Structure 1
């Protein structure tokens, strides 16, 4: 037999719960280690002559728990290798070795590669006592969470929730803040200290906001959050949104929502997108939050329609998006690097091309202009088409060529209008002129859609000023002269400059 580590669980804290088998292993071991002596069973064993070497000093020498657990694992493996043929190193841990015990997890990962045999003997877990003392059946729905890794996404209020590793008031404060993202401040929770340990057990039922005011947190502490069927607790979850949309589309739901199709709400998707853009331009976070919700609703409705046909669900949409984000960011989630945004964009484009190849599409055989959505607004589409063409060299060397093209197209447009060409020809010449101006926007690295949007906003602001001033004078644009409105327009410009 080669190197061997035997792990023994010390149980939840009551020496009477220690099994005869575990006690025999503890007494017969020649070399014993314990993760921490801060456990009632350790004190009792040492009183009976079973002594340990503890790793408590490792906690004091390291800055974080992962480093502590790595160091303990290294030392145990080294001790096992040096113990000699046929000898075992015993390692005792609080509770059950397979429940919330990071060092055992590391040993299970590392020992096979180090040619060290690992044997694990169970012990009563703190969960056993929690089920009894707190009075719930885990089959009703149960989750065990780590206080150091708690987030809104890990909490399901429909399940009984136990939170372990609540070592001190600071950890309890972090737990409280995380829970308050979902639960009301006065939601009833339970703090359990040393459950099942005679003379040390405490079960405190308190409102959530008092969680970090409780004294006595330590290695044997946990927090229990009772399960609830109150849907208001899930109002911020994606699952609840999915449920609501599916109900709206169900036979018992909303008649209007049931009647909608992809085509009937197609325009809504566009309208909601532009409403989001408006909140961005206005730098209005509160309104943006609302409009982003309206836009998300459109995504959910379209996904729900496909879920009803069995094609895909909203979760499939999210899965595909997650996969795409991971795949197209190899400089973040893979082995590549990106020094700047340009490098990141090159990685993105390279991964897009690879995705096409996996789908049987040869990017090299596609048009340089492929990938531009058909229904983009014309100004935005022109910009994207020109950028794609420029990538393969179809571009002027300098902006001088752009100026010449604009002058050429302006002359042709003027001629078409002056000479009374058919309306369709005039419109085509206007399009050519606009297209050439988009080239100028591209050269100065300005988004033409955004530039025109800003000018539209400026026009609205100035014209509104004109209307307001006319209204103050008891007039309206309809009964005012152009000269009067021009004068007020110039005044609006002056006021605008002064406000900058």
Structure 2
């Protein structure tokens, strides 16, 4: 006779709700196990003469629930293989609702040649729908209290949270829900729903969730659904929805008329505004500007969604795949002892991506991958870095300085000879390119260095303006000597090095 395990559900706690079939199955078992004796129905079954062996002791000898469930599943499969006749395993509620041991059995039994039967039982969901008074067809979400995070919560759905075994778990649930709901949002705690003499239903503000007593195997938390706009305002889905409305026929006329080309410059402008908040170390302003930058990404994605090419969720999916693929030292089997190792992994995976697309990295230019429209100084810096990787570089900084002096001399000659303006500009470009190399050798970002100098210049020049204004003078009428004196004063005033 083949090994057989039959799993039965003990229901939500009321013995009257047990089916006759489940009782007969337990009575006819060669061996009957129960995950825990801490269930109202167990006492009734024992009174009828059914012998049950529990796994309660396992919870005390293991540190995590996953270890407990692993032990139970292994014990049951071993017992079934050794036992003549059917063994029965009883679990609280319904076997297919929030029951990890049954999931493990379903995965393993086929490979072990064990026949697995599952008999339903009343789930705690059945009692929840009745006792809490909501219809799941309106939209319903069942979540596990262990490992709950705010991003899983959808306020527009009725939410039931199970596995709330103790006050600590309730506290973790509270913190997760507070990422979405206000602290005083009304939630419901239910203990032993449908069990006569034991049922408790409490409606409390969210912040009191971990102050409730009585959490255990038969506890749950219910969060009623809500269409309040305030609860969705922080969700990405709501942002996507808003941008879709703005671009719809009933939306904003200006937004509807925009194209990739018409708002192209906005993407660059918003990026620089974010950079400004970083330079100013202004988190509040940064939050706002990052939002403006994100809007540009949403608008461009929405335009493509309207054409049926891709959506912003495709953008996110591609990015997720790329991040995982290019970090094998985090998500794979590679290792990286420092940032340099991590960067090498990144470059290797980029090359592998090209191969998978049918491209040959070895056949491409070393300079490939530098965006065409980068600001010129930043682009020069990146081009030089790529060239240096294959040895096209000076040996040390002295060679760079010699090149800078050479380019200064050529620029002077071009001006002295009164060459055409275009040729003079080319000589100026050569000089700037050489200076960018100096930045690379001293480990400075030339774009950031020039930005810092621009900021320093603005500060000092405004000092001149303010000092002249305090004297009742207009800078447009001030002499160069007066401005130079104030410039030197500004340098002493802020202690900065020379511009």
TM-score (norm 2): 0.95
Instruction: Provide the residue aligned with 2:105 in structure 1.
Output: 107
What is the CA RMSD across the aligned residues, in angstroms?
A: 1.8
Instruction: Report whether the alignment pairs 1:168 with 2:152.
Output: no
Q: Work out the CA distance in 2 between the residues paired with 1:136 and 1:454.
A: 60
2:330 aligned to 329, 332, 335, which one?
A: 332
Instruction: Provide the residue aligned with 1:32 in structure 2.
Output: 32
Instruction: Give the match's secondary structure for 2:204.
Output: strand
Instruction: Report whether the alignment pairs 1:241 with 2:274.
Output: no
Equivalences for residues 70-469 of structure 1 within 5 A:
70-81=70-81, 83-84=82-83, 86-469=84-467
Q: Unaligned regions of 5+ residues in structure 1, if any?
A: none
Instruction: Report whether the alignment pairs 1:489 with 2:490.
Output: no
Superposed CA deviations along residues 249-290 of structure 1, whole A, max 9, x for unmatched, are: 111111111111111111110000000001111111111110
Q: Work out the CA distance in 1 between the residues paired with 2:388 and 2:78.
A: 62
Superposed CA deviations along residues 97-123 of structure 1, whole A, max 9, x for unmatched, are: 110011111222233344433222221
Instruction: Give the match's secondary structure for 2:161.
Output: strand
How far did residue 498 of structure 1 move? Answer: 8.8
- When residues 403 and 92 of structure 1 are mapped into structure 2, their CA distance, relative to the original with a 3 A threshold, is same
- For these two proteins, the number of residue pairs brought into alignment is 497
How far did residue 125 of structure 1 move? Answer: 0.6
Superposed CA deviations along residues 205-237 of structure 1, whole A, max 9, x for unmatched, are: 223233222221111011111112223211111
Q: Unaligned regions of 5+ residues in structure 2, if any?
A: none
Superposed CA deviations along residues 385-407 of structure 1, whole A, max 9, x for unmatched, are: 11111122211222222122111
Superposed CA deviations along residues 276-326 of structure 1, whole A, max 9, x for unmatched, are: 001111111111110000000000111111111111111111111111112
Instruction: Report whether the alignment pairs 1:7 with 2:1.
Output: no
Instruction: Give the match's secondary structure for 2:88.
Output: strand
Q: Work out the CA distance in 2 between the residues paired with 1:95 and 1:324.
A: 42
Instruction: Report whether the alignment pairs 1:23 with 2:23.
Output: yes
Instruction: Give the match's secondary structure for 1:148.
Output: coil
How far did residue 79 of structure 1 move? Answer: 2.8
Greater Cα offset, 444-453 or 473-482: 473-482
Instruction: Give the match's secondary structure for 2:400.
Output: helix
Q: Work out the CA distance in 2 between the residues paired with 1:379 and 1:343.
A: 28
Q: Work out the CA distance in 2 between the residues paired with 1:211 and 1:383.
A: 56
How far did residue 2 of structure 1 move? Answer: 3.8
Instruction: Provide the residue aligned with 1:55 in structure 2.
Output: 55
Instruction: Provide the residue aligned with 1:69 in structure 2.
Output: 69
Q: Work out the CA distance in 2 between the residues paired with 1:89 and 1:497.
A: 84
Q: Work out the CA distance in 2 between the residues paired with 1:33 and 1:457.
A: 75
Q: Work out the CA distance in 2 between the residues paired with 1:144 and 1:376.
A: 48
Q: Work out the CA distance in 1 between the residues paired with 2:234 and 2:101.
A: 35
Greater Cα offset, 212-221 or 464-473: 464-473
Superposed CA deviations along residues 300-355 of structure 1, whole A, max 9, x for unmatched, are: 11111111111111111111111111221122112222222222222222222222
Q: Work out the CA distance in 2 between the residues paired with 1:235 and 1:266.
A: 27
Instruction: Provide the residue aligned with 2:469 in structure 1.
Output: 471
Superposed CA deviations along residues 432-466 of structure 1, whole A, max 9, x for unmatched, are: 01101111111122111111111111111222222
How far did residue 20 of structure 1 move? Answer: 1.3
Instruction: Give the match's secondary structure for 2:146.
Output: helix
Q: Work out the CA distance in 1 between the residues paired with 2:478 and 2:107.
A: 84
How far did residue 497 of structure 1 move? Answer: 2.7
Greater Cα offset, 186-195 or 125-134: 186-195
Instruction: Give the match's secondary structure for 1:199.
Output: coil
TM-score (norm 1): 0.95
Greater Cα offset, 200-209 or 425-434: 200-209
